[in-house]
Chains A and B, each alone.
Chain A
Amino acid sequence: MQPISTVKGKAYPLGLKNVDTDIIIPAAWLKTISRSGLGKGAFQTLRSVPGNVFDDPAYAGAPILIAGDNFGCGSSREHAAWAMADLGISAVIAPSFSDIFSGNAFKNGLLAIVLPQEAIDRLMEVAKTDEIHIDLETQTVTTPFQDRFPFEIDPFRKHCLINGVDEIGLTLKSSDAISAYENKLSASQPWLSPNQA
């Protein structure tokens, strides 16, 4: 994972609530065995409507997306995060995210920032004309108009994002602890190893 600490630029003012994973990337695009190239399918249904924000030249190449409540609900498909990254999006700001989507976003260095609806309403306005700045270190979203919205983030995720941590590599350092757990488990619940039954 590439380290990420700030995102600055235009933002797509989508605002829609319950943006589900089928909206982000329809199932027909999930047949790939690679992580790349999914940007073409990103938000396909929304983009089929003329005048949509994704094809509005005012927001071309925006690295930020602003959405409504429950963003990323539905499927566990990480293709949703891959497709958004492939489209050039580095951060989503919404009042809430589905648990699985925010996990997938995190694993791909895509920031999923939770702000209250009032802040979202304000950022939707700002986005029409100006850039938005996200600073992960200070955990703030700011605008050129002195708006300053603090956000919460899990400390472990923050550390991994800023340092671009390879999480599998990190966990593998705990191999001895995992082995100890496995040994304890096979003694207390031998039935959990089906092939040994």
Chain B
Amino acid sequence: MSAPQTLYEKIWNAHVVEQRDDGTCLIFIDRHLVHEVTSPQAFEGLRVAGRRVRRPDLTLAVPDHNLPTTARLDGNGNNIPIADPESAQQLEALERNAPEFGITYIDATDVKQGIVHVVGPEQGFSLPGTTIVCGDSHTACHGGLGALAFGIGTSEVEHVLATQTLQLSQSKSMEVRVEGELAPGVSAKDVVLHITGVLGASGGTGHVIEYTGSVIRALSIEGRLTISNMAIEHGARAGLVAPDDVTYAYLKGRPMAPKGDDWDAAVAYWRSLATDAGATYDKVVTINAADIAPSVTWGTSPEDVLPITGVVPDPSTFADPSKQAAAKKSLEYMGLIPGTPMTDISVENIFIGSCTNSRIEDLRAAAAVLKGRKKADNVKWAIVVPGSGLVKQMAEAEGLDRIFLDAGLEWREPGCSACLGMNPDKVPAGERCASTSNRNFVGRQGPGARTHLVSPAMAAAAAVTGKLTDVRALMD
């Protein structure tokens, strides 16, 4: 009888191809998602070295970061060219590299196209118990299905393309247990913002976090993906949620999910992955659901989190001198004065989207707040960007697009959009954005842009009032 193991240890051990004397392991990678930004230099490296892609069948390419979210086809069904020549060049490179190396490529006009981290789960490409990598730090997202998923750099993308493996050292393990019941108006996004506030931006560094507890169990897959997505924002290598019946119900029948007898065998295997009783983590953090309010960031690090009922903090009250200096700089950049109630802060821009919050449940939550309401006059730009063409289709079938449009918001094509300021969707310098994305870094949404991270319902509430708003005030 082997010693009790955590979910992370079980997945890790099942993927060791070889172990070196120094402990470094050659780890097999089951799934590789590729997008246009972090792959061109990797494909070029393969070409220069005369190497091929070892397992194109385990690799899936889809463009998302650079794509404009405006219409992609004109009235005659022809592609609308991309205005930015550098973006166009990068997208063309992926379009060329994928077939050259035998990789399945989802075209920008395909209904299956979307943000890599929305497409993977949606297609059933991402599965429990697998190792998943992508040249994008939010790859941790797929951990919501119980996959060991993490972001890698371009050299590692090339390494995986050439060998289907990575040379890795095992991380430490951490359990973040969230117990209790979420109050009305509190969503998965608020949970993960709160966790990031508690752990700090580097609290999870060197660790793989398993999120456990009654709150996590009660979440839908969309909610679990939102939480695991932001594992990187508290520094973790990856996030994990043990697969359960909610996971299997979500995956069953998806295009690339196992079928027939394979399905039954897969579920039996997935059930064996849960952390054993008696297994221990290197660190355990417990969070009480009752302490979690609708949350919002005030600064330029995702750890700068407050309940919406809070006030802008005074940097001089921080104990750590380096944090004092950082907070002072953050407040200058954000144009905020200590003591200001968060709900007094006006916003001119609203972004509902990103790999954190662009799934159907997120759009439903935003639409529930916006239904029958209008955006405030001071909100100049408000966009809703579905995470994939299939999410868009589903939302339209439910009439959510009408709710957004009637409220004065724009309804866009899928992509990363205003999360990262590398496509045309940007927040103007000096302006604020209530954003459902994952990072409030300096310049993240465009040079000089001021980001407040919130949940979809909170972004919708801010659209209605033109200020950061406690969504509970707008709930029936």
Which residues of A pack against B, CB within 8 Å?
16-18, 20, 22-23, 26-28, 30-35, 45, 68-70, 73-78, 81, 96-100, 103-104, 107-108, 154-156, 167-168, 170-172, 174-175, 177-178, 181-182, 185, 189-197
Contact = CB atoms under 8 A, between A and B. Distances in A.
Contact of A189 (B136, B171, B269): B269
A31 B162 contact: no
Contacts of A195: 57
A156 B167 contact: yes
Nearest to A158: B22
B57 A17 contact: no
Contact of A100 (B44, B125, B151, B323): B151
Contacts of A178: 17, 26, 28, 54, 163-165
Contact of B24 (A45, A74, A77, A154): A154
Nearest to A194: B256
Interface of B: 17-18, 20, 22, 24, 26, 28, 30, 37-38, 40-41, 44, 49, 51, 54-55, 57-58, 65-66, 84, 86-87, 89-90, 93, 125, 127, 130, 135-137, 139, 150-156, 158-159, 162-165, 167, 169, 171, 201-202, 205-206, 232, 235, 237, 256-259, 262-263, 265-266, 269, 301, 322-323, 326, 420-422, 439, 441-444, 447
B156 A103 contact: yes
A197 to B, nearest CB: 6
B17 A177 contact: yes
B95 to A, nearest CB: 12
Nearest to B203: A70
B448 to A, nearest CB: 9
B237 A99 contact: yes
A27 B420 contact: yes
A191 B169 CA distance: 27
Contacts of B54: 178
Given A74-B137, A77-B38, A171-B167, A107 B441 contact: no
A18 B167 contact: no
A168 B441 contact: no
Given A74-B441, A104-B154, 10 more contacts: A20-B442, A31-B84, A75-B136, A167-B155, A168-B159, A171-B163, A178-B28, A191-B258, A193-B57, A194-B57
Nearest to A101: B153
11 contacts: A17-B326, A18-B202, A18-B301, A76-B136, A77-B153, A78-B41, A100-B237, A103-B153, A191-B262, A196-B57, A197-B256
Contacts of A107: 153, 155-156
Contacts of A32: 86, 90
Given A20-B441, A168-B158, A28 B259 contact: no
Contacts of B151: 75-76, 100
Q: A30, A33, A189 — which one has the most chain B CB atoms within 10 A of its CB? A: A33
Contacts of A20: 301, 439, 441-442
A33 B125 CA distance: 27
Contacts of A98: 202, 205, 235
Contact of A31 (B66, B235, B442): B66
Contact of A174 (B17, B256, B444): B17
Given A27-B422, A104-B153, A172-B162, A22 B28 contact: no
Nearest to A160: B167
A69 B325 CA distance: 13
A170 B166 CA distance: 11
A17 B51 CA distance: 40
Contacts of B28: 178, 181-182, 185
A69 B57 contact: no
Contact of B159 (A30, A76, A167): A167
B153 A168 contact: no
Contacts of B265: 189, 191
Contacts of A156: 20, 22, 24, 167, 169
A98 B150 CA distance: 13
